[in-house]
């Protein structure tokens, strides 16, 4: 069977005003054709939290925010490995260790993190990934040496909108890390955050940027405005608009995993199970970095009710 030609920008823009029911049907079928009834689950742990020098407007871990978010140095390696093994038991396909900060940790903290990544990788079925800020070739080599084959680094939004949400580093710096990791042969999980006040053109630009980079795993996050952050007063996305975002990404990126991550519960509410009909092929389970997630058993029961199965099972 020949695959459909890639969507053009004009075709993608037309989806923004297309009838939602028809769009969801098309996107859900595209997911089903590509991934059947298998879904990609992932989970994360916050290895080092808060006190970040950067001013990302959405982030409770930024030192520029007044959010009452937990701050702690790098946790002990055995705690991180315990979190990873727990997620492995919950059938995730990928588990991420995440650190706050602009660039990868250094010194003792780096050694502890690499130890945790190496130990987790060597003792579980799921892929282990690192989400540790901007990467240079040295830390990429160290990650590969620890057996890590995947990193996570979001672009967050379009090049045009990025300066509205962050002024302490540039879009090009984010792209540099993504390109560097890809060039080193790592898988890169790279997506964005929606509901920050961006326009549809920004969302579509991001999707095309990801397609141009050849990204195969795209986390879709929805803003859950946290008190004390610069975006605290931003209204929640309408759940139907969130579903449209998922569907548009599915159709622009037909072969990529589209995984719904942060903000799922607060934005989609009773429509959470619809994400798969909208074309999502995965979701994050468990807690997020600074906010609580849904009960994992409830999420697994939702998948069973939908006739879907974790690919890590």
Interface contacts to ligand SF4, rule CB under 6 A: 52, 54, 56, 59, 61-62, 100, 102
- Listed in sequence order, the DSSP H helices in 166-238 are 171-183, 200-213
- Return the SS3 of 32: helix
d(CA 66, CA 227): 8
3-class state of residue 2 by DSSP: coil
CB of 178 to ligand SF4, least distance (A): 14
Cβ–Cβ under 8 Å, residues 268 and 274: yes
Nearer to ligand SF4, 217 or 290 (CB): 290
DSSP string, 259-290: EE-TTIIIIIGGGGGGGTTTT--EEE-S--SS
- Cβ closer to ligand SF4: 17 or 167? 167
Query: Smaller CB distance to ligand SF4: residue 155 or 253?
Result: 155
Tokens representing 289 are: 């970095």
Nearer to ligand SF4, 44 or 59 (CB): 59
Which residue in this structure is represented by tokens 């742990």? Answer: 45
Contact present, 49 and 61 (Cβ < 8 Å): yes
Which residue, 102 or 313, is less far from ligand SF4 as judged by CB?
102
Q: Give least dist CB 229 to ligand SF4, A.
A: 9
Nearer to ligand SF4, 56 or 251 (CB): 56
Residue 110's alpha-carbon distances to 103, 107, 113, 229, in angstroms, are: 11, 5, 5, 28
Q: How far is the CB of 267 from ligand SF4 (least distance, A)?
A: 18
Reference 97, options 106, 115, 157; nearest CA is: 115
The CA radius of gyration of the chain, in Å to the nearest whole number, is: 18
Residue 202: CB minimum distance to ligand SF4, A: 17
Beta bridge partner(s), residue 62:
52
Q: Closest approach of Cβ 52 to ligand SF4, in Å?
A: 3
| Chain-centroid distance, C-alpha 83 | 18
In the complex with ligand SF4, which residue's Cβ is closer, 56 or 92? Answer: 56
């Amino acid at each position: 069977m020949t695959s459909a030609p890639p969507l053009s920008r004009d075709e993608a823009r037309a989806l923004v005003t297309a009838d939602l029911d028809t769009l969801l049907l098309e996107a859900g079928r595209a997911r089903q054709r590509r991934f059947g009834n298998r879904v990609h689950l992932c989970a994360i742990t916050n290895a080092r939290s808060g006190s970040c020098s950067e001013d990302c407007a959405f982030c409770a871990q930024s030192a520029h925010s007044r959010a009452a978010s937990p701050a702690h140095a790098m946790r002990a390696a055995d705690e991180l490995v315990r979190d990873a093994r727990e997620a492995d038991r919950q059938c995730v396909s990928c588990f991420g260790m995440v650190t706050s900060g602009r660039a990868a940790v250094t010194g003792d903290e780096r050694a502890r993190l690499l130890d945790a990544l190496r130990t987790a990788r060597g003792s579980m079925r799921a892929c282990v990934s690192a989400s540790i800020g901007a990467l240079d070739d040295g830390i990429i080599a160290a990650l590969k040496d620890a057996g890590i084959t995947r990193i996570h680094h979001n672009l967050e939004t379009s090049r045009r909108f990025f300066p509205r949400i962050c002024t302490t580093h540039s879009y090009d710096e984010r792209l540099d890390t993504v390109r560097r990791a890809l060039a080193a042969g790592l898988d890169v999980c790279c997506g964005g955050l929606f509901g920050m006040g961006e326009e549809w053109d920004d969302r579509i630009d991001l999707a095309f940027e990801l397609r141009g980079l050849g990204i195969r795993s795209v986390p879709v996050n929805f803003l859950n405005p946290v008190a004390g952050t610069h975006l605290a007063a931003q209204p929640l996305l309408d759940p139907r608009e969130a579903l449209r975002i998922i569907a548009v990404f599915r159709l622009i990126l037909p072969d990529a995993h589209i995984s719904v991550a942060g903000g799922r519960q607060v934005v989609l509410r009773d429509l959470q199970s619809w994400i798969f009909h909208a074309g999502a092929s995965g979701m994050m389970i468990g807690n997020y970095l600074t906010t609580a997630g849904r009960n994992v058993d409830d999420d697994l029961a939702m998948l069973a009710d939908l006739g879907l199965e974790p690919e890590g099972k």
